[in-house]
Structure 1
């Protein structure tokens, strides 16, 4: 299976697509996080479908809508977490193991904001 690369006008095998996407991740992601919008959990909850999938993970908000069809696991595995605080799912992807460092770098492409802190 070959996937279109999200930022380049060509098609790459899945692993190369992942590696190329990571190469285009901004090195200054931490610097730009300070300027990202802040979302409430209620706002995240409004995006709970395969066509509009946001997740809050470790206090950050990600729009994973474009990634849903490319998720390597069963679609339902990811979709049940759309619109939710999903840190638990991220950290226990399979048999209690967290997602890989490669997946963590890819996740940064979908960062859209931070989650409002609650008491």
Structure 2
């Protein structure tokens, strides 16, 4: 059983309810298709917006997720498509979590640093 957290984009969250992420999780679709029904979503947070501290802020939120048992973090599809720190989030969070680089709407973009 996976214990999942999602990090979405603060800027996009101003106009998005997160329903696409929740629908994909609840239907075990897109990036959640391989999870069993026992898997739980424990946390849904957003970054703190685009700033020079974005990576540190996301790491801080991820550390709090770890404290409540999250073992897998999904970066939302909006982070994948809009965030200049997407690759850094992937590589940094991958040190302590299984990281999936999207939630819904397409296949995962490859981490440029992993190639």
**TM-score, L = length of structure 2:** 0.28
State the structure with more CA Rg.
1
**TM-score, L = length of structure 1:** 0.28
More relative contact order, 1 or 2 (CA 8 Å, 6+ apart):
2
